[in-house]
Amino acid sequence: MTLVDTPGDDGTPPEAPRRARARWSDRVGRWRRGVIVAVAAVLLALTMLLHSRIPNRIGNLGSLLETFLPWAGLAIPVLALCAVLRRSFTALAALLVPLLVWLNLFGGLLLDKTGSGGALMVISHNVDADNEDPAGTAADLAATGADLIALQELPQGKSEQYEEGLAEAYPYHTVIGTIGLWSRIPLGETTEVDIGMAWPRALRTTVHADQGEVAVLVAHLPSVRVQFRAGFTAEQRDQAAELLGRAIADEPLSRLLVLGDLNGTMNDRALAPVTSQLRSTQGAAGAGFGFSWPANFPVTRIDQILVRDLEPVSSWTLPATGSDHLPVAARLDF
């Protein structure tokens, strides 16, 4: 005998259809719930995708976002948790959009592109003018066996401890203002590169390697500040980047190596006069983002090794010294 649900004495609907309607209502509700989370996911994706369209007119907001752009991805798991708590299919589906955008922008940096070998090992390090252990920093850098070591923020007029610590391993060196280059390979004439500062913060020299000459620029662009009223103050840095970009464009040697603290990332549009002409060793031959500042908890890469007509083989950051920056290193082939 087949049992069929019939309405109860009080006129209530049968139990089976009521359960079916409840399940259907729940499914529909899961798609309708979480609309706010879904909208936030789409806005996050648009922010990352169109970061270059965010204007710099108000507090250099665009450059500030681009400095820390990889960290925008942290919002994705937060929104995913909200979607799960809301049991929203719509929100979870919408989260695929920012995830794909983030992977398109930064997924390549997650791959290990480190190679072996390399004819030239180079290091760039902002040693921090307030470094309390300059001798130890010099010893750590010399122990790497690098062919070239570029230093920025040398104590003005007080670079002797670095010169003494590096003299034995690096017979060739040049210092202008607060920047210097130490080399195992003979250097040519050094000249100051004008980047609009009151004292020298960029130099140009030539490395006479067996494989041929390489022009080397060492630079320390002006610092930037994040202030409550003024926003991201970077005008002086941006002007210096323009001047450095002109020096790169005017460089007659095809092989060019730029080492320094640029106080900006490869994503920052304000550094385009420099970065548009060169390759980043970290992007071409590194593993991960290579964050270099601040040393105790690096959140961004403002120390750069950039090349032209040289082939990056590997790129990495070195252990912390007495500075507030991590040294960055790369191996290059001709």
Which pLDDT score, from 0 to 100, does residue 31 have? 55
Exposed e or buried b per residue across 223-250, where buried means at least 16 C-beta atoms within 10 angstroms of its C-beta: ebeeeeeebbbbebbbbbbebbbebbee
Calpha distance 262→305 (Å, rounded)? 10
For residue 82, the one-letter residue type is C
Q: How far apart are CA 326 and CA 210, in angstroms?
A: 30
Rounded to an integer, the average pLDDT of 119-129 is: 97
For the purposes of burial, counting CB atoms within 10 Å of the CB of 160, is it exposed (0-12), middle (13-18) or buried (19 or more)? exposed
DSSP letter at 294 equals: S
- The CATH class of 120-333 is alpha beta
Q: Is the dihedral of CA 168, 171, 177, 180 positive or negative?
A: negative
Q: Is 306 exposed, middle or buried (0-12, 13-18, 19+ CB in 10 A)?
A: buried
Token code pair at residue 331:
């191996």
Distance CA 157, CA 298 (A): 29
Closest CA to 302 of 287, 291, 316, 314: 291
Write out pLDDT tens, residues 223-255.
887 665 545 568 899 999 999 999 999 999 999
Query: Which letter does DSSP use for residue 281 in this model?
Result: H
Question: pTM of the predicted model, to two decimals?
Answer: 0.88
Q: Is 46 helix (H, G, I), strand (E, B) or coil?
A: helix
Polymer length of the chain = 334
Over residues 70-120, the pLDDT tens digits come to: 999 999 999 999 999 988 888 999 999 999 999 999 999 999 999 999 999
Q: Which residue type occupies 317?
A: T
